Amino acid sequence: MFLGTHAPLLDDKGRLVLPAKFREGLAAGLVLTKGQERSIVVWPAAEFASYAERLNEASRSDAQVRAYLRVLFSGAFDEIPDRQGRITVPPALREYAGLHREVVVVGNGSTVEMWDAAAWNSYLATQEDAFSAISEEVVPGIL
């Protein structure tokens, strides 16, 4: 499980050192995809394969399904971290998420998200006040 918030720097070649806590879970390979709110989602390769299998069960006669699959898969990149735990974030994804030097990497359970630091801080500021109020709606009966 991926937890916590980390602030690695993106180098001039678009490489990022994965937080040490995340390296073992991503060492076998990962997939980078576009995420919601202009983030990048980092999936363990096996988790992404499982997700892709479930997506392929959706009806391709539905235009929204086709659109989602096109955007997701066309913007996906597979990667294996190097010995120092570095990955290269492709230029297309850096542009999509507005990543420059300062990046925030957050654990999101079974995935990891990468955000531009300013975008993350802005997003978090708008969500924290509503966090406790929405818990009953998001996870009814559990909390």
Domain ranges of the chain: 5-138
- Tokens of residue 20, six digits: 């040490």
How far is 128 from 105, CA to CA, in rounded Å? Answer: 17
pLDDT recorded at residue 55: 93
CATH number of 5-138: 3.40.1550.20
Evaluate whether 8 touches 117 at the Cβ level (below 8 Å). Answer: no
pLDDT tens digits for the chain (143 residues)?
999 999 999 999 999 999 999 999 999 999 999 999 999 999 999 999 999 999 989 998 999 999 999 999 999 999 999 999 999 999 999 999 999 999 999 999 999 999 999 999 999 998 887 887 776 666 666 65
pLDDT recorded at residue 133: 74
**Angle (nearest 5°) at CA 36 between 33 and 38:** 80
Roughly what angle, to the nearest 10 degrees, separates helices 63-74 and 45-55? 160
pLDDT recorded at residue 139: 62
**Strand pairing class (111-116; 30-34):** unpaired
